[in-house]
């Protein structure tokens, strides 16, 4: 039997109860309601769409757990909502929890700790099955109108603006008379993505969102500046999440997904429907976000572009880990922050959470620093120049001259390009700063401009930023992307039969390295003029293209070197061109816009490490891992 450690929840509860409170700052919510007696029920909400073409408007299932006492006293409660396609196929959280039901179909097991912790504190928790998944009707459309309406209409229902029913097909209505209408959406990965999308509609009643490792543009999940990322396909993901849902015919909906996600990598109306950044100006909800700087599933460009487009109260946590929930890398602090966040934005408690620093960043494993905001930097321009070794040069403020070349081919990867930085490589060119005279804080989204001449009519470009120097970092390419499961558990709230509050403890999975790839980016040179329309390339003609690298926040320490590597097809992440070219780079017309806090890099000439130890080869994992 596993040892259950109650210290976590007791410490949090004690902090809530014992903390001194002034008259101006009321106490936070406390666990005063009986979780075992909580109301557990399901409402089916009409979303006004017919995704499966059966002639009936689709209804989505919203499983609800709420404290019994407030309703009996005529009081209403706010709602914490997690809308997901994963409740019957793939599970939620580190332990892949699924929803469970009793013999009458009443919800019993609510994945994750939100219900255990918050229902006793006077919140309702509502877990919504996206259309076409678990108990909901219709078909999923991978971030499109069906997914977003699945959750937005539930917000409307909680505010008395949409129709809810007691069954999936019957006529009996049900109303959320117990709801204050104040809703906070939360979720990791796909779930947090839906929260972003619903917030981008500006729906009334949505007071806050907590997206964790979430997508802001599905184009930037499946594509990168014209290049196809190795992430599977929208139709494939739809089949994964709907495979346990019976009765609907979603073949037509899946054909639309295949037709819309064109193979050429162009940005089109399909992707626009799934690009929430374009509607960020409509967001009225506050945002508490978390993202892994080592997330190679939902690439960090997704939080970077979303964050810079928002104009609301917001706070972000950035960890060295990969696609990991903060509950599993900084548990006690996260639950405390989340508690205060929901208390403030859903209950109106004046606890000062909105005045805390805007960004919390993990600099080393389990070493966190606060900074006023993210990004902390503004762009400086660095330029590559040739050195004494062919294909290995310098990165500084002065423009280079002449050209350098490399030959693209299958089987190349960013890890192999970085492995021997002192050597000429047929597959890439490398430019480094020299040994930094002081720490260099890179914070934001870098862009690289490359003027390249291909030898064929198709070409891919890849660029990476590498921190060369010894360090200990989270093992973000490891089996659990920077964490390890322990044998003990800790409990975070109240338990009931079939629904316990206890979860495996985790610890840090760290690794010592001699280099760390801190940012990656990819592009199809055929999209040099427009992401919406690729243009055939003429062999021997130069093209200039600017493309983005992954958003980051990283300090390159004094004595380390920062390098820019430019190559062709990074096979770990993107698919190759029809014909692999030799690519010639014009150094005088190539540059890196690097976001840094303070001045740009100052450095002295220094030899690069011959073959530095590096983190294990990166792998791409599908979103269905959640």
pLDDT exceeds 70 at position 16: no
Query: What's the mean pLDDT in 121-127?
Result: 98
How many structural domains is the chain composed of? 2
Assess whether pLDDT exceeds 60 at residue 622.
Answer: no
pTM above 0.85, yes or no: yes
Q: How confident is the model at residue 23 (pLDDT cuts 50, 70, 90)?
A: very low
CA dist 463 → 63, 85, 573 (Å): 45, 34, 12
* pLDDT of the residue at 610: 87
The answer to whether residue 424 is domain-embedded is yes
**Is residue 9 located within the same domain as residue 73?**
yes
Annotation marks residue 217 as catalytic: no
Is 496's pLDDT higher than 80?
Answer: yes
Distance CA 619, CA 514 (A): 19
Domain end among 347, 371, 395: 371
Whether pLDDT at 361 is above 80 = yes
pLDDT digits (tens, 9 = 90+) for 514-564: 999 999 999 999 999 999 999 999 999 999 999 999 999 999 999 999 999
Token output for 553 = 């926040």
What is the arithmetic mean of pLDDT over 121-134? Answer: 97
d(CA 361, CA 279): 27
182 and 231 in a common domain: yes
Do 117 and 41 share a structural domain?
A: yes
Residue 292 and residue 266 share a domain:
yes
Say whether pLDDT at 223 is over 70.
Answer: yes
What CATH number is given to the structural domain containing 575? Answer: 2.60.120.260
The pLDDT of residue 619: 56
* Cis-peptide into 56, omega within 30 deg: no
* Residue % of the chain over a pLDDT of 70: 93
pLDDT of residue 11: 37
Residues 281-304: pLDDT tens digits?
A: 999 999 999 999 999 999 999 999
- Tell me the per-residue pLDDT of 315-328, one tens digit each, with 9 for 90 and over: 999 999 999 999 99
pLDDT tens digits, 575-596: 999 999 999 999 999 999 999 9
Per-residue pLDDT tens over the stretch 501-514:
999 999 999 999 99
Distance separating alpha carbons of residues 144 and 54, to the nearest angstrom: 19
Q: How confident is the model at residue 626 (pLDDT cuts 50, 70, 90)?
A: low
Q: Are 310 and 434 members of one domain? A: no
State the catalytic residue, choosing from 136, 146, 189, 242.
189
Is residue 586 within 8 Å of 262, Cβ to Cβ?
A: no
The verdict on 360 and 397 lying in the same domain is no
Q: Which of 342, 371, 400 corresponds to the end of one domain?
A: 371
Judge whether residue 615 has pLDDT over 90: no
- Judged against a pLDDT cut of 80, whether residue 14 lies above it is answered with no
Q: What pLDDT, on a 0 to 100 scale, did the predictor assign at position 26?
A: 58
Considering the domain boundaries, does residue 304 fall inside one? yes
Question: What are the structure tokens assigned to 514, written together?
Answer: 């001699």
Backbone angles phi and psi of 343, in degrees to 5: -55, -40
Residue 113 domain-assigned (yes or no): yes
Does the structure show a pLDDT above 50 at 33? Answer: yes
Q: Residue 606 — pLDDT band, cuts 50, 70, 90?
A: confident
Considering 58, 129, 225, 295, which one is annotated as catalytic? 295
Residue 518: inside a domain: yes
The CATH number assigned to the domain holding 10 equals: 3.40.50.1820
Q: What is the mean pLDDT of residues 341-350?
A: 98
Average pLDDT on 230-259 reads 89
Catalytic hit among 63, 141, 220, 323: 323
* pLDDT tens figures, 364-376: 999 999 999 999 9
Q: Is 45 left (phi over 0), alpha (psi -120 to 50) or beta?
A: beta
- Residue 296 contacts by C-beta under 8 Å, 6 or more apart in sequence? 322, 323, 476, 477, 573, 618, 619, 620, 621
pLDDT (tens digit per residue) in 544-558: 999 999 999 999 999
Does residue 405 lie within any of the structural domains?
Answer: yes
Residue 586: its pLDDT value, please?
Answer: 98
**Position 246 pLDDT exceeds 80:** no
Let me know whether 270 and 406 are in one domain.
no
* Mean pLDDT across the chain: 93
User: Which of 20-29, 221-230, 340-349, 477-486 comes out lowest in average pLDDT?
Assistant: 20-29
Is residue 21 predicted with pLDDT exceeding 50? no
Q: Given this model, what pLDDT does residue 425 score?
A: 95
In a domain, 624, yes or no: no
| Same-domain check for residues 364 and 305 | yes
Domain that holds residue 574: 378-474+514-614
Residue 353 has pLDDT above 90, yes or no: yes
Active site residue 295: yes
pLDDT at 623: 52
Same-domain check for residues 28 and 54:
yes
Query: Could you tell me if 42 and 20 lie in one domain?
Result: yes
**Above 90 in pLDDT, residue 613?**
no
Same domain, 356 and 386: no
Establish if 509 belongs to a structural domain.
no
In the 3-class helix/strand/coil scheme, how is 199-257 assigned residue by residue?
HCCCCCCEEEEEEECCCCECHHHHEECCEEECCCCHHHHHHHHHCCCCCCCCHHHHHHH
Residue 316: what pLDDT?
98
* 26-35, 146-155, 412-421, range with the lowest pLDDT: 26-35
Average pLDDT, integer, range 254-262: 96
Environment class of residue 171 by beta-carbon count within 10 Å: exposed (0-12), middle (13-18) or buried (19+)?
exposed
CA of 494: how far to CAs of 68, 132, 137, 497, 498, in Å? 15, 31, 32, 11, 12
Residue 217, pLDDT above cutoff 50: yes
pLDDT at 620: 53
Asked whether residue 421 is domain-assigned, the answer is yes
> Are 86 and 229 within one domain?
yes
pLDDT digits 0-9 by tens, 72-116? 999 999 999 999 999 999 999 999 999 999 999 999 999 999 999
- From 371, 391, 422, the end of a domain falls on 371
Nearby residues of 155 by Cβ (< 8 Å), 6 or more positions away: 81, 183, 198, 203, 205, 206
Please provide the size of the chain in residues. 626
> How confident is the model at residue 609, as a pLDDT?
87
């Amino acid at each position: 039997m596993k040892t259950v450690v109650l210290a976590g929840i007791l410490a949090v509860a004690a902090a809530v109860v014992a903390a001194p409170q002034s008259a101006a700052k009321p106490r936070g919510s406390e666990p005063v309601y009986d979780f075992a007696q909580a109301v557990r029920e399901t409402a089916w909400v009409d979303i006004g769409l017919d995704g499966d073409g059966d002639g009936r408007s689709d209804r989505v299932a919203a499983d609800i757990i709420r404290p019994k006492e407030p309703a009996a006293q005529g009081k209403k409660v706010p709602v914490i909502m997690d809308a997901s396609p994963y409740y019957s196929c793939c599970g939620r959280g580190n332990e892949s929890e699924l929803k469970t039901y009793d013999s009458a179909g009443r919800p019993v097991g609510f994945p994750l700790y939100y219900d255990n912790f918050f229902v006793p504190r006077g919140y309702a928790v509502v877990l919504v099955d996206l259309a076409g998944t678990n108990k909901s009707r219709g078909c999923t459309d991978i971030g499109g109108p069906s997914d977003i309406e699945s959750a937005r209409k539930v917000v409307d229902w909680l505010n008395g603006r949409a129709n809810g029913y007691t069954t999936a097909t019957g006529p009996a209505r049900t109303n959320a008379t117990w709801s204050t209408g104040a809703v906070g959406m939360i979720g990791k990965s796909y779930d947090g993505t839906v929260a972003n999308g619903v917030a981008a509609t500006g729906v009334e009643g949505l007071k806050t969102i907590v997206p964790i490792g979430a997508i802001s543009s599905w184009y930037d999940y499946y594509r990168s500046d014209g290049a196809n990322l190795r992430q599977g396909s929208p139709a494939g993901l739809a089949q994964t999440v709907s495979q346990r849902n019976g009765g609907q015919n979603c073949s037509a909906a899946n054909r639309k997904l295949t037709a819309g996600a064109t193979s050429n990598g162009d940005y089109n109306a399909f992707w626009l429907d799934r690009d929430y950044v374009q509607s960020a100006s409509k967001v009225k909800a506050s945002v508490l976000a978390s993202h892994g700087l080592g997330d190679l599933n939902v690439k960090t460009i997704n939080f970077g572009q979303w964050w810079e487009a928002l104009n609301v109260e917001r706070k972000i946590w950035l960890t060295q880990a990969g696609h990991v929930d903060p509950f599993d890398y900084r548990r006690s602090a996260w639950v405390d922050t989340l508690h205060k966040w929901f208390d403030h934005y859903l209950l109106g408690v004046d606890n000062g959470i909105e005045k805390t620093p805007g960004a919390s960043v993990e600099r080393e494993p389990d070493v966190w620093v606060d900074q006023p905001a993210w990004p902390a930097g503004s762009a400086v321009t660095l330029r590559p120049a040739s050195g004494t070794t062919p294909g290995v040069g310098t990165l500084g403020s002065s423009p280079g001259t002449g050209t350098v070349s490399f030959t693209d081919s299958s089987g190349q990867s960013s890890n192999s390009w970085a492995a021997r930085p002192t050597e000429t490589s047929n597959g890439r060119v490398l430019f480094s700063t020299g040994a930094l005279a002081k720490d260099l804080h890179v914070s934001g989204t870098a862009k690289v401009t490359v003027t390249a001449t291909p030898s064929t009519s198709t070409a891919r470009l890849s660029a990476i930023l590498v921190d060369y120097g010894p360090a200990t970092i989270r093992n973000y390419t490891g089996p659990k992307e920077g964490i390890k499961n322990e044998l003990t558990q800790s409990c975070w709230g109240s338990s009931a039969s079939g629904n316990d509050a206890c979860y495996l403890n985790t610890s840090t999975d760290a690794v010592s390295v001699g280099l760390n790839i801190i940012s990656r980016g990819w592009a199809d040179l055929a999209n040099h003029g427009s992401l919406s329309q690729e243009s055939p390339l003429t062999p021997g003609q130069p093209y200039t293209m600017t493309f983005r690298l992954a958003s980051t926040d990283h300090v390159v320490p004094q004595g380390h070197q920062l390098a820019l590597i430019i190559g062709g097809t990074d096979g770990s992440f993107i698919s190759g061109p029809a014909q692999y070219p030799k690519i010639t780079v014009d150094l005088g017309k190539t540059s890196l816009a690097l976001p840094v806090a303070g001045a740009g890099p100052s450095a002295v000439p220094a030899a690069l490490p011959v073959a530095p130890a590096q983190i294990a080869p990166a792998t791409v994992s599908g979103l269905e891992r959640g």
